[in-house]
Amino acid sequence: MTFDRKTLVIPDRTRFEEQIISTKGDVVIGDRSLLQFSINTDGRIFIGEHVITGGNLEASNDVRIDIFSNIGGDIQSGGNVYLGEKVKVKGKLSLKGDLDVGDSVEIESGFEAKGWINIRSPIPVVIYIFIYLLQLLKVGHSEEIERILEELEQNDGKTIPISESFLFIPNNSIIGLSKSQVDYNIRIGKECKVLGNYDIKGNIYVDDRSDVYGTLHATEDVFCGKKVKVHGNIISNGVVNIGEKTHVVGNVSADKILLSKTATVQGTLLAKKGISFIDSSKEEATEKVKRFENDADVVDEVKEMLE
């Protein structure tokens, strides 16, 4: 799967449970973002500059936090931990690997490390002012986040290939308990449980069998796959496509609505350019014809026999 750096990506089977997000794989949080949830993952956690989190961070591998970020709870890492200058941790830091700490880092409840501890010496005031001016010139672009993204890039274009289990929160995003805001698109994977009301300045994509507990508001299109449940309203300035056996516990308002015949909407439907019903059987038949013409069905049959 590819995505650009402005898209919020929630991978398959990610679960929002009250005040914690449980996911698989790496987690990348962009600069100047606000996250009111705790994070629990079996991968790594990368946090950019000037980020504020309201909960704990728990990772089976490394945790890297860039300068001027504020962590509102404990940090637990099964690997190494890097804390940039001026990072504040309101809880306790526990790690099984090495600890690298920058200048003026505050850990309110102390730390426990089983590996080497490297505390970098304070830099001279003149050099510090110079670095501060450079930070202002580059408008807070985190070198740490840029590095991890550059490692993932394969092309010179704007797209970044990532694994399916990869949580990405773009710069300047707000992921809150009651309200979330992203300046571009959001993509929610399969079998996810997501909490909160989302105000998106772009497109919203919700994959099959995912539950959203809140209202979805997009300036562009909204797509809901099969067996999706939205416990709230869907509001869009573009097209809303509601898939097969999807259930919306609320109202749907859009420029145009495409509605599966097996979908259910408990509230009202309002579409300036009308409502069209989707026939899933016709779509499947068309897809089978295309696959037959491309010999895709034959390839799949051979693959199944080999398995």
pLDDT of residue 209: 97
Is pLDDT of 305 > 50? no
**Model confidence pLDDT, tens digit, residues 261-288:** 999 999 999 999 999 998 765 555 445 5
Of residues 278, 202, 195, the one with CA closest to residue 236: 202
- pLDDT of residue 175 exceeding 90: yes
Q: What is the pLDDT of residue 77?
A: 95
**Rounded to whole angstroms, how far apart are CA atoms 63 and 74?**
12
Beta bridge partners of 188: 10, 206
How confident is residue 96, by pLDDT bands cut at 50, 70 and 90? very high
What percent of the chain shows pLDDT beyond 70?
A: 75
Task: Check pLDDT > 60 for residue 183.
Answer: yes
Average pLDDT over residues 183-204: 95
| pLDDT given for residue 40 in this prediction | 96
What does the alpha-carbon distance between residue 19 and residue 38 come to, in Å, rounded to a whole number?
A: 6
pTM of this prediction? 0.79
pLDDT at 173 over 70: yes
Give the residue among 292, 258, 263, 294 at the shortest CA–CA distance from 277: 258
Average pLDDT over residues 157-173: 70
**Mean pLDDT computed over 297-304:** 46
Distance CA 232, CA 211 (A): 11
Q: Mean pLDDT across the stretch 130-134? A: 58
Which whole number is the average pLDDT over 142-154?
61
Q: How many CB atoms lie within 10 A of CB 287?
A: 11
CA angle (228 as vertex; 200, 259 as ends), nearest 5: 85
Mean pLDDT within 140-163: 55
pLDDT of residue 160: 47
φ and ψ at residue 79, rounded to 5 degrees = -130, -140
Work out the average pLDDT over 143-159.
56
Q: What's the alpha-carbon Rg for the chain, to the nearest Å?
A: 22
How confident is residue 92, by pLDDT bands cut at 50, 70 and 90? very high
Tell me what the mean pLDDT of segment 229-241 comes to.
96
pLDDT in tens, 1-10: 455 788 999 9
Chain length of the chain: 307
DSSP single-letter state for residue 167: E
Q: How many CA atoms lie within 13 A of 228 on its CB side?
A: 29
Given this model, what pLDDT does residue 177 score? Answer: 85
Contact (CB, 8 A) for 129 and 112: no
Q: Is the pLDDT of residue 138 over 90?
A: no
Give the tens place of pLDDT for each residue, 40-75. Answer: 999 999 999 999 999 999 999 999 999 999 999 999
